[in-house]
Amino acid sequence: MTNIQKLLISACLITAACTNEKEAPVKIESYEVISPIVKDIFYHDEYVAEIQSVKYAEIRSKIKGYVEKIHVDEGQIVKDGQLLFTLSALGLEKEIQKADAAYKSDVANLKAAQVELDSVRTLVEKNIVSKTKFDVLQAKVDALKADMQETLAGKEQAVLQHSFASIKAPYNGIINRIPNKVGSLISEGDMLTSISDSHEVFAYFNFSEVDYLNYISTANKEATVVDLQLANHTLYPHQGKIEMIESEFDHQTGNIALRAKFPNPNGILKQGSNGKIILKKSLKNALLIPQKSTFEIQDKIYVFVVDKDGVLKQRNILSKKRISDFYVVDSGISKDEKIVFEGVANVKDGEKIIAVPRDVEKEMPIDEKDL
C-alpha cells in the first residue's frame, strides 16, 4: 500500500468519526415549571414607634427660690390641683406686705384729698374761692387714684408671685423623677418634675413617601386600625387607630410622621417607651412567584420563561414586595406564562428543556400567618 493510499484511508476514518460525533443526539434535561399564583393576599408591615402620653407636662418653677418642701414622691398618683412643691417665699411675703402698706397709704391720701376737694367745691359754689383751685385739687385726686390703682396692681402682682411658690398638679397623673431635693436652689424656669396621664397614649411612627401614597390611596376604616408590638416582641392587647398625618415631609429623611392613639387602661405603656406599629395591608389579585425561581444580576431580578417549544428566555421582572418566600410581581411576566421552578442556576438563556408542569400552591403552600 502506497503512502497516498494510507493518507486517503486515514482521512476517511477521521471524516467518519467527526460525522458520528455531530450526529450524536443532544440530551434535553427535564425541569419543573410553574405558573405564577394569582390570589388576594393579606400581610402586614412594621414601623418603629415612639410612645408618648396623651397628657404630659413638665412642671417648672416660675420664680427663683429654695425647695422648702416636697409633698409627693416619684411614681405617685396625684389629683388635679394637689400640692406638689413649696418654694421658699419669705422675700415674696415681704413684697406683699410692702405693697399692702403702700396701698393703704394711697387710700388714706386719696381720702384726705377727696375731703379737701369736697370742701373746696362748696366754697366754689358760694363764690368764696375760684374754680381754678377746685380744678387743681381735682387733678390731685385723679393723680392719687391713678397711684392707688398702680399700687393695687403691684400688690396683686406680689400676691400672684407668692402663689407661684406653691406648685400644684395641673391634672390627674403620675409624678415622674424629682431631680431637685429639699434645699436645692431653683431658678426661674428650672424643671422640678414632670407629670403624665397615660390612660391614653400616642404612638408616633414614620412612612416613606411610597408608603404614604399607598396608604392614602387605600385608606378606609380598616386601614386606620393598627396593632402594637411591644419591646419584648409581645402583642399589646388593645388596638389603636391612626388619627393624624403631619402636613409635610421631613426633608432630611424623606419621611412623614403619623400618630396613632391607643387606650392604656392598665398603664402598661409609658411615656418614652418604644414599640412597633403593625399595619395590616392587602393586595387584590397579586401575582406571586417563589423567590427560588429567580436569580439576580446587578441588583435586577430575573426568571427563565419557557415558551411553547420548551426554549428558555431570560426575563427581567419588577417586584412590588417580598413576602415570606415569594415575590409579588409588578411587571415582567403574566399569569399565563410558565417559568422554571427550581434549578435556575443550571440552565441558560436559549436552552431547550422538557417542561414538567407543577402546581406551585401544592409545592409551596402560602401560610397567611407568615405574611
Give helix 131-163 / helix 90-125 axis angle, nearest 10°. 160
**pLDDT one digit per residue (tens) for the chain, 371 residues:** 555 555 545 555 555 555 544 455 667 889 999 999 998 888 888 999 999 999 999 999 998 889 999 999 999 999 999 999 999 876 677 777 787 777 788 788 878 778 777 776 777 677 777 777 777 778 887 887 887 788 778 777 777 777 888 999 999 999 999 999 999 998 999 999 999 998 999 999 999 998 898 888 775 555 689 999 999 999 999 999 999 999 999 999 999 999 999 999 988 999 999 999 999 888 888 899 999 999 999 989 999 999 999 999 999 999 988 888 899 999 999 999 999 999 899 999 999 989 999 888 876 776 655 45
Who's near 85: CB < 8 A, 6+ residues apart? Answer: 59, 67, 69, 70, 71, 166, 167, 192
Do the Cβ atoms of 189 and 263 come closer than 8 Å? no
CATH code of domain 30-41+284-370: 2.40.420.20
Measured between alpha carbons, how far is 302 from 295 in angstroms, rounded to an integer?
5
Cell of 311: 426554549
**Residue that the C-alpha cell 403574566 belongs to:** 334
Domain boundary assignment for the chain: 30-41+284-370, 45-54+200-283, 57-175
Q: Provide the terminal-to-terminal Cα distance of the chain, rounded to the nearest Å.
A: 82
What CATH class does 45-54+200-283 carry?
mainly beta
